[in-house]
Amino acid sequence: MFTINHWFHRNPLKSTALVSFDQRTSPSSTDAMQICHQLRQLRLDILQLLCNPTLETAHIRDSFDKYISLLTGYVESPDGSSDDSKLRYTTKFYWSDSLTKTDPITDVQDAQFEICCMTLNVAMWYTKHAAYVASKSSTPSDKDALDVHKSLRMAAGMFKHVMDVEIRKLHEVKLPPCSDINEKVIAAYYYSCMGEFHEITVARAMNAKQDNILISSISNQISQYFEMGGQQLSTLDEKIVGQWRMYFGLKSKFYLAEARAYQALDFLKKNDAPNALKSAEEASKVQQQAASFCEQYSKTKGAGSPQRHPFFLQLDSMIRRVQSTVEFENNIIHHKRAATDLQPLENPVHGILPAEEYIPAKLNSLFSANTYRAFDIGRNVGKQYKEDKHAREVKEAREMPIPQGMPPSESSCIIA
381-410 pLDDT, tens digit per residue, is: 666 666 676 777 898 999 999 876 444 333
- Predicted pLDDT of residue 310: 66
The reply to whether 319 falls in a domain is yes
Residue 32 shares a structural domain with residue 116? yes
> pLDDT under 70 in the chain at which residues?
1-5, 301-311, 381-387, 389, 404-416
The reply to whether 191 falls in a domain is no
Dihedral angle, C-alpha 251, 253, 259, 263, nearest 10 °:
-160
The reply to whether 5 falls in a domain is no
- Predicted pLDDT of residue 408: 39
Task: Indicate the residue among 330, 355, 380 that finishes a domain.
Answer: 355
Instruction: Single out the residue of 126, 113, 191, 119 nearest to residue 154, CA to CA.
Output: 126
Whether residue 53 contacts residue 128, with contact meaning beta carbons closer than 8 Å, is answered with: yes
- Residue 19 identity (one-letter amino acid): V
Task: Indicate the residue among 333, 355, 377 that finishes a domain.
Answer: 355
The reply to whether 240 falls in a domain is yes
φ, ψ dihedrals at 130, nearest 5°: -60, -45
Longest dimension (CA), the chain: 89
Whether residue 130 contacts residue 192, with contact meaning beta carbons closer than 8 Å, is answered with: no
Task: Indicate the residue among 355, 373, 398 that finishes a domain.
Answer: 355
Residue 45 shares a structural domain with residue 140? yes
The reply to whether 194 falls in a domain is no
Residues in CB range of 59: below 8 A, 6 or more apart: 49
Residue 383 shares a structural domain with residue 339? no
Residue 21 shares a structural domain with residue 170? yes
φ, ψ dihedrals at 62, nearest 5°: -60, -45
Residue 270 shares a structural domain with residue 368? no
Residues in CB range of 134: below 8 A, 6 or more apart: 4, 6, 8, 140, 144, 148, 405
The reply to whether 198 falls in a domain is no
**Number of compact structural domains in the chain:** 2
Structural domain span for residue 390: 16-174+363-416
Q: What is the pLDDT of residues 133-158, one digit of tens each?
A: 988 877 778 899 999 999 999 999 99
- Predicted pLDDT of residue 415: 26
Instruction: Single out the residue of 332, 199, 325 nearest to residue 258, CA to CA.
Output: 199
Burial class (CB in 10 A: 0-12, 13-18, 19+), 239: exposed
Residue 217 shares a structural domain with residue 326? yes
Residue 312 to residue 287: CA distance in whole angstroms: 9
**CA distances, 411 to each of 265, 292, 306, 311, 403 (Å):** 32, 22, 11, 12, 6
Residue 335 shares a structural domain with residue 403? no
Rounded to the nearest 10 degrees, the angle between the axes of helix 183-207 and helix 142-164 is: 160
SS3 105: strand
Question: What's 322's domain CATH number?
Answer: 1.25.40.280
Neighbours of 254 (CB within 10 A): 27
The reply to whether 41 falls in a domain is yes
Q: What is the pLDDT of residues 345-389, one digit of tens each?
A: 999 988 899 999 999 999 999 999 999 999 998 877 666 666 676
What is the b/e burial string over 161-170, where b = at least 16 CB atoms within 10 angstroms of the residue's CB? Answer: bbbeebbeee
The reply to whether 337 falls in a domain is yes
What kind and span of H or E run contains 293? helix 273-299
**Could you tell me which residues are beta bridge partners of residue 403?**
414
φ, ψ dihedrals at 93, nearest 5°: -120, 140
Residue 150 shares a structural domain with residue 275? no
- Predicted pLDDT of residue 307: 56
Residue 108 shares a structural domain with residue 224? no
Give residue 220's Cα distance to chain centre.
20
Give residue 115's Cα distance to chain centre.
17
Residue 300 shares a structural domain with residue 377? no
Residues in CB range of 262: below 8 A, 6 or more apart: 212, 213, 215, 216, 219, 322
Residue 133 to residue 144: CA distance in whole angstroms: 6
DSSP calls for 26-94:
-B-SHHHHHHHHHHHHHHHHHHHHTT-TTS-HHHHHHHHHHHHHHHGGGTB-TTSSSSB-TTTTS--EE
Q: What is the pLDDT of residues 78-89, one digit of tens each?
A: 988 888 999 999
Whether residue 104 has a cis bond before it, omega within 30° of 0: yes
Residue 285 shares a structural domain with residue 148? no
Residue 311 to residue 217: CA distance in whole angstroms: 19
Residue 248 shares a structural domain with residue 388? no
Residue 14 to residue 56: CA distance in whole angstroms: 20
